[in-house]
Amino acid sequence: MKLKLRNTALVGSLGALMFTGLTAGASASASSSPVPAEKGTLAAAGSIDTGISAGSSRYTRFTGTGTGPFNYRIWDARNPSKTLGLLTGTVQQTEVLNYKRNTFKHRVTIKVTTASGTLKGGGSANMKLNCGTGCSTGGAKSGALKKGKATVFEFTVTSGGTKTVNLRPQPTMKITGGGVTGPASGDGLAAVRCDSTYKNMGRGCVFPGVQPVFSLSRTDPEVNENATHVYDAQRKIAGAPGLQTPLHKVSTAQGKKNRSKMCPTGPAHPRPQGKECDEYPFASTKEGGNPANGSTRLISKDDNQKAGNRLKLWYKDNRVIVDDPFWVSIK
């Protein structure tokens, strides 16, 4: 089952972000309950599910947090309805990504609020974080689970190589106590994408399901002409690209082709001194390069170049790569 969560706009460390739907990834599915462990007449299993199918989640382009219920139960294998020991509480998973590093932190915090029966004294836990081929998590972590205590298991996830890959680290653990060792597992957070597209920045990772928002202001003296043009164009062009429907990044080569269609050069297209042709939707997007559904305007050369440089830097800082959707907000 493909998972999806919708929410409202969020604000991240690198500017505004529009949260328009996170998916777990085409191959991800809601985690099923682990197969119970049995020892003699005892059976045990638990859940640490905090994925986007359970509890509550919050994301920016570079941070993700999911909170859900924790439960671990020991029962009589001859009478499954008879609970012998119980641990319950909350579990929280967090990931803090870095837009110019190939490593990020994944933290799992379990707080036990109820401990009863054969688990009244708690238990000991050994947790692993599985992230599939092409990444590493630094091995298993151990900790004690006791009533009233928050236990933290922190992993460093490393995405190697140069290819663009999607990762979805998922925790599994074994809990020992009450005379038996049993499994507990849960769904992970939303998919993380790591890429090496921007060579001068190195490898970096984002939550691609969070669609970022590029912002300009009509009161900013450095880019007010460009901002005003975009503001007017969004309200004139069919579909209000960037405002009501997202734009999508294209390659540098395609961007040059788009620009030549919207702002051709040469003797037949003279420019007043100090002026440049500005186009919207941006030439660097799939929606650009269409004179029948686009807008051009002569604006200050300095203004146009500063706005263009801001967009290029913003692409890098948010690791917006080919086909990524994004939005444009003009104040």
pLDDT at 228: 98
Instruction: Check: CB of residue 250 under 8 Å from CB of residue 322.
Output: yes
pLDDT at 225: 98
Question: How far apart (Å, rounded) are the C-alpha atoms in residues 215 and 318?
Answer: 13
Extract the tokens encoding 193. Answer: 């994408």
What pTM does this model have?
A: 0.85
Residue 220 burial (C-beta neighbours within 10 Å; 0-12, 13-18, 19+): middle
Question: How far apart (Å, rounded) are the C-alpha atoms in residues 313 and 52?
Answer: 31
pLDDT at 28: 35
Length of the chain: 331
Q: What does the domain layout of the chain look like in residue ranges?
A: 32-206, 214-330
Instruction: Check: CB of residue 141 under 8 Å from CB of residue 153.
Output: yes
Instruction: Check: CB of residue 157 under 8 Å from CB of residue 135.
Output: yes
Written in H, E and C, the secondary structure of the chain is CCCEECCCCEEECCEEEECCCEECCCCCCCCCCCCCEEECCEEEEEECCCCCCCCEEEECCCEEEEEEEEEEEEEECCEEEEEEEEEEEEEEEEEECCCCCCEEEEEEEEEEEEEEECCCCCEEEEEEEECCCCEECCCCEEEEECECCEEEEEEEEEECCCCCEEECCEEEEEEEECCEEEEEECCCCCCEEEECCCHHHCCEEECCCCEEEEEECCCCCCCHHHHHHHHHHHCCCCCCECCCECEEECCHHHHHHHHHHHCCCCCCCCCCCCEEEEEECCCCECCCCCHHHCEEEEEEHHHHHHHHHHHHHHHHHCCCCCCCEEEEEEC
Positions of the chain with pLDDT under 70: 1-33, 49-55
Residue where the block lists tokens 């998919």 = 191
Extract the tokens encoding 129. Answer: 């974080």
CA distances to 95, 256, 257, 299 from 268, rounded to whole Å, are: 54, 19, 18, 18
Please give the biggest Cα pair distance in the chain.
90
